[in-house]
Structure 1
Amino acid sequence: MKGRVLVTSACSRVAYCICRNLRRHGLHVVAADPDPLAMSFWSRFVSGRHICASPFRDEGAFIADVLRIIEKEKIDVLIPVLEETYFVSRNRSAFAPHVRTLVPDYRGILALHDKRSLLDVAARFGVSTPRTAELADALDGRLPDGFRYPAVLKPKQGGGGGAIVQIRDAGHLRRHVRAARLNAGAYLVQEKIDAEMANVAMLYDGGKLVAGDTYQTLAVHPHPFGQSTLRVSREYPRARDALKTMLDALQWNGPCQADFLYDRSRDETFLIDVNPRFWGSVEQSIARGIEFPYYYYRCAMGLGGFAAPSSPPVVATKWLGGDLMRRIVGLTSRSASGGAAQDGLPRRVEGMDDFYGTDPLPFVGWGVSQIVRRVRRLAGGKVSRESLDGIWE
Structure 2
Amino acid sequence: MKTKSKQNIISVLIPDGESHILLYVVNCLAQIKHIDIYVMSNTKYHPMRYSRYIKKFTYYAETSSDLDWIENINKEVKRHSIDVVMPIFESRIKTLIQYRSKIIQQDQLGLLSNIEDYETAFNKNKLTKHLEANQIPYAKCTLVTSFADLDKVNGLKFPVIIKPVEGYGGGQGIFKFDSKDELLAHFKKYPMIYNNIVQEYVQGYDIDCSVLCKDGQILAYTIQKGNMIGTHQFSPQFGVQFQYNKKLIDTVKHIMKSLNWSGVAHLDMRYDAHTDQYKAIEINTRFWVSLEASLLAGVNFPYLYCLSSLDKEFIAPEYKVIDFLNLKGLIKQIKKDKRFIVKFNFIRNNTPLKYSLSDPIPTIYKWIWRTKNILKSKINK
TM class by smaller structure: 0.7 to 0.9
Which consecutive residues of structure 1, in runs of 5 or more, have no partner in the other structure? 332-336, 338-345, 381-393
CA deviation after TM superposition for structure 1 residue 322, in Å = 7.6
Partner Cα distance (2:364, 2:205) in 1 = 33
Identical aligned pairs, as a percentage? Answer: 19
**Is contact 1:77-1:100 (8 Å) kept?**
yes
Matched, 1:123 2:123: no
**Is contact 1:7-1:19 (8 Å) kept?**
no
TM-score by length of 2: 0.83
Q: Which of structure 1's runs of 4+ aligned residues deviate more than 6 A?
A: 375-380
Partner Cα distance (2:104, 2:218) in 1 = 22
**Is contact 2:327-2:351 (8 Å) kept?**
no
What's the counterpart of residue 351 of structure 2?
351
Partner Cα distance (1:275, 1:379) in 2 = 39
What's the counterpart of residue 339 of structure 2?
none
1:10 to 5, 13, 17: 17
Partner Cα distance (2:81, 2:23) in 1 = 21
Q: Which has the larger radius of gyration?
A: 2
Aligned-partner residue type, residue 360 of structure 2 = P
CA deviation after TM superposition for structure 1 residue 63, in Å = 1.7
Partner Cα distance (2:52, 2:93) in 1 = 25
Which has a greater percent of helix?
Answer: 2
What's the counterpart of residue 37 of structure 2?
29
What's the counterpart of residue 143 of structure 2?
134
Matched, 1:71 2:82: no
Measured at CA, do residues 281 and 8 of structure 1 come closer, stay the same or move farther in structure 2, by a change above 3 Å? farther
Map 1:35-54 → 2, pairs under 5 A: 35-54=43-62
Partner Cα distance (1:221, 1:24) in 2 = 27
Measured at CA, do residues 235 and 253 of structure 1 come closer, stay the same or move farther in structure 2, by a change above 3 Å? same
**Is contact 1:287-1:350 (8 Å) kept?**
yes
Partner Cα distance (1:94, 1:320) in 2 = 40
Partner Cα distance (2:238, 2:204) in 1 = 18
Partner Cα distance (2:370, 2:323) in 1 = 25
What's the counterpart of residue 114 of structure 2?
105
What's the counterpart of residue 341 of structure 2?
none
Aligned-partner residue type, residue 321 of structure 2 = V
Partner Cα distance (1:201, 1:175) in 2 = 36
CA deviation after TM superposition for structure 1 residue 375, in Å = 7.3
What's the CA shift string for 1:75-132, capped at 9, x where partnerless?
Answer: 1111100121111111111125252321111111100111100101111222222232
CA deviation after TM superposition for structure 1 residue 235, in Å = 2.2
Matched, 1:179 2:186: no
Partner Cα distance (1:253, 1:128) in 2 = 22
- Which secondary structure state, in structure 1, belongs to the residue aligned with residue 21 of structure 2? helix
Aligned-partner residue type, residue 31 of structure 2 = R
What's the CA shift string for 1:122-171, capped at 9, x where partnerless?
Answer: 11222222232233676226533xx3322211111112212112223212
CA deviation after TM superposition for structure 1 residue 181, in Å = 1.3
Partner Cα distance (1:132, 1:116) in 2 = 8
Partner Cα distance (2:93, 2:354) in 1 = 21
CA deviation after TM superposition for structure 1 residue 296, in Å = 1.1
CA deviation after TM superposition for structure 1 residue 276, in Å = 1.8
Aligned-partner residue type, residue 129 of structure 1 = Y
- Which secondary structure state, in structure 2, belongs to the residue aligned with residue 44 of structure 1? coil
CA deviation after TM superposition for structure 1 residue 208, in Å = 3.0
CA deviation after TM superposition for structure 1 residue 201, in Å = 1.2
Partner Cα distance (1:215, 1:361) in 2 = 30
Matched, 1:250 2:278: no
Partner Cα distance (1:23, 1:258) in 2 = 25
Partner Cα distance (1:205, 1:228) in 2 = 28
Measured at CA, do residues 142 and 263 of structure 1 come closer, stay the same or move farther in structure 2, by a change above 3 Å? closer
**Is contact 2:215-2:257 (8 Å) kept?**
no
CA deviation after TM superposition for structure 1 residue 205, in Å = 2.3
**Is contact 1:218-1:231 (8 Å) kept?**
yes
Partner Cα distance (2:161, 2:18) in 1 = 30
Partner Cα distance (2:93, 2:369) in 1 = 23
**Aligned residue pair count:** 357
Aligned-partner residue type, residue 49 of structure 2 = F
What's the CA shift string for 1:242-299, capped at 9, x where partnerless?
Answer: 2211221222211111001124576332211101222221222221221211111111
Q: Which segment is superposed worse, 367-376 or 63-72? A: 367-376
Map 1:132-171 → 2, pairs under 5 A: 132-135=141-144, 139-140=150-151, 142-144=153-155, 147-160=156-169, 161-171=171-181
CA deviation after TM superposition for structure 1 residue 374, in Å = 5.8
Matched, 1:227 2:236: yes
Aligned-partner residue type, residue 171 of structure 1 = D
What's the CA shift string for 1:320-370, capped at 9, x where partnerless?
Answer: 25876xx59xx9xxxxx9xxxxxxxx9756232894322122222333454
What's the counterpart of residue 387 of structure 1?
none
What's the counterpart of residue 282 of structure 2?
273
**Is contact 1:150-1:169 (8 Å) kept?**
yes
**Is contact 1:17-1:283 (8 Å) kept?**
yes
Partner Cα distance (2:364, 2:302) in 1 = 24
- Which secondary structure state, in structure 2, belongs to the residue aligned with residue 24 of structure 1? coil
Partner Cα distance (1:354, 1:122) in 2 = 40
Measured at CA, do residues 265 and 115 of structure 1 come closer, stay the same or move farther in structure 2, by a change above 3 Å? closer
Partner Cα distance (2:188, 2:361) in 1 = 45
Partner Cα distance (2:281, 2:378) in 1 = 34
TM-score by length of 1: 0.81
1:199 to 208, 220, 225: 208
**Is contact 2:28-2:291 (8 Å) kept?**
no
RMSD: 3.0
